[in-house]
Structure 1
Amino acid sequence: MRIYHFALLMAVGSPLLATPSAAGDNPAGTSSVTVIVSALASTKSVVKLYFYNVRDKFLQHGGYAFMRVIQPGGQQQVTLPINLPNGEWAVAITQDTNNNDKLDKNFVGIPTEPYAFSNNVRPKLAAPDFNDCKFVVSGPKVVNITLNK
């Protein structure tokens, strides 16, 4: 069992890593998805969205398919319209409230900065499973996620 160590969120490598577009070169196999993250802890600190489409790589170091960084611009929520290849996806989100470019954790590895997962999964003692967080992309979709403060 993966312990709540949230070695999870972000043993993700360089969080500002530039990644290719999720849409790829096959627009027919993609769908428009809008991810809305609400209840931000800060209207100024960046929000990082990590997109996963491989079950065994979920929350693993560098296991995300791609990530995006959004500046809230004074708003309490951010919206990310994106094209995703059809299939199963899960999203992990963090907000870097002290702008040190990493997810801060306490001495036992629990995040001390806001985080969230697709399907608004609220883990208690262990990191969530891909199956709990996944959503199926097969046409236009809106994914609403509330940040844990």
Structure 2
Amino acid sequence: MLNNLLFKFFSQNTSHSESPRISRKFSQLLFWLALSLVCLPSNGFAQTECPSVNVKIQNISNNTGVIACAIFESEEGFPGKFLKYASKVMITQISGTDASFEFSDVLPGKYAIAVIHDENYNGELDKNFFGVPKEGYGFSSGAEVTLSAPSFSDAEFLYDGGVLQMSIDLSY
């Protein structure tokens, strides 16, 4: 009896002349849509690199501790107070003699980067009695330490909002 009811229901719904025509038009629309997607150039859907500042740290002397890389938007706190004033800080365990960092969501502008090899995990660059660093350090734009740490303007670089690759060598 249930089979008879189902048969009657489906036979009544397919007896209308509009239903097959709508179904055929819908099928044709789906076919042309699928065909047009297949014909699109493949690079239209290719994944592109996201805008970011990519920093490769080189010359890590040992695997003790962590590498901290901080990006600053202004001279305030640069370079020593990165935990308080840096706009972004990334820290990674050391594996080998190189480390890499990727800063995304960075707006175009002027920035400076400071890197430290924090061998004792205290979150700062340790110095001796005379103020000479006892741990590795490095700065963007090849800024060097003379009698004091470099200024923000010495390490400054311009970021245009695209993909920027840079390398920073650590000094010990």
State whether TM-score is above 0.5.
Answer: yes
Provide the secondary structure at the position in 1 that maps to 2:128: coil
Tell which deviates more after alignment, 100-109 or 129-138. Answer: 100-109
Where do residues 54-93 of structure 1 align in structure 2 (5 Å cutoff)? 54-59=74-79, 61=81, 62-73=84-95, 75-83=96-104, 84-93=106-115
Unaligned runs of 5+ in 2: 1-49
**TM-score (ref. length: structure 1):** 0.71
Match of 1:120 in 2: 142
Residue pairs, 1:1-149, within 5 angstroms? 31-59=51-79, 61=81, 62-73=84-95, 75-83=96-104, 84-138=106-160, 139-149=162-172
Aligned length: 119
- Is the contact made by 2:65 and 2:94 (CA closer than 8 Å) also made in structure 1? yes
Contact 2:138 2:168 in 1 (8 A): yes
Q: Which ranges of structure 1 fall in alignment gaps of 5 or more residues?
A: 1-29
Q: Greater Rg, structure 1 or structure 2?
A: 2
Compared CA separation, residues 36 and 109, structure 1 to 2 (3 A):
same
The structure with higher relative contact order (CA 8 Å, sep 6+) is: 1
Other structure's SS at 2:51 match = strand
Structure with the largest fraction of strand: 1
**CA–CA distance in 2 between the matches of 1:130 and 1:59?**
8
Amino acid in the other structure paired with 1:147: L
Q: What is the TM-score when the length of structure 2 is the normalising length?
A: 0.62
Deviating runs (4+, > 6 A) in structure 1? none
Letter in 2 for 1:43: N
Distance 1:57 1:114 in 2: 19
The answer to which structure has the higher helix fraction is 2
Deviations 1:32-79 (A, max 9, x none): 111000000213420011110113442363221121101122x21011
